Structure formats: C-alpha cells, structure tokens
Amino acid sequence: MVPTEIKKVGSDKLRISWIDGFSSEISLKDLRDNCPCAQCQGEQVGFVKYQPAKLEMFSPAKYEIQSIEPVGNYALQVIWKDGHDTGIYSFEYLRSLLEEFSKK
C-alpha cells in the first residue's frame, strides 16, 4: 500500500490518500503521539522490554512538522520542529493509524 498524496489540512492535520482510493485525515498530535521510534515507544531486546522515561516538556513545536521525507519505497520520516526526527512511519503502520483514527 502506497500513499499517492500527503497534504496539510489547516494548521493541525494531514490528509493522506492511498493508491486504492482510501483517504483520511490524522491530527498532527495523534501522529506525533504515536511515533513508532524506540525513544517514544520503547524497544524489545530478547525477552526484555525497555520503556523510555516519559519526560513531558511541552513545546509548541512538538506538534509542528518541519518536513516529511521518503524512506526507500516503504516509509516516511517525519521531522518535527522541536528536533525529533527518529520516527520512521512504515506505510503499513501509517495506514493502520489512519484507519484507526478515521473510526473515531
């Protein structure tokens, strides 16, 4: 599954359209809060799960996108204005997020 268009809607949403015709919007907050990187979600090494400490320091730039870059033919890297850039959103993961949030 491959996105065909990614467009910012207003100041706080992205609309992503897919090759199969599915199109949905996701808030930048939901996208950032579901960042798949190890720093945000933790990581599994063997049978041990490492969970990052939650340091809640709000910055207005936390939910603002600086840029979105393709990663090969399988993912997007979102670079946030607060400097966070380690989240690689696979197309499969991104699509599942959009489907989940479109039901809410």
Beta carbons within 10 angstroms of residue 16's beta carbon: 21
Q: How confident is the model at residue 57, as a pLDDT? A: 65
Beta carbons within 10 angstroms of residue 27's beta carbon: 15
Q: How confident is the model at residue 40, as a pLDDT? A: 84
pTM of the model: 0.85
| Domain 3-102 bears CATH identifier 3.10.450.50 | no
Pick out the chain residues at pLDDT < 50: none
Phi and psi, residue 10, nearest 5°: 65, -150
* Alpha carbons 78 and 44: distance in angstroms, whole number: 22
Residue 79 C-beta-side C-alpha neighbours within 13 Å: 7
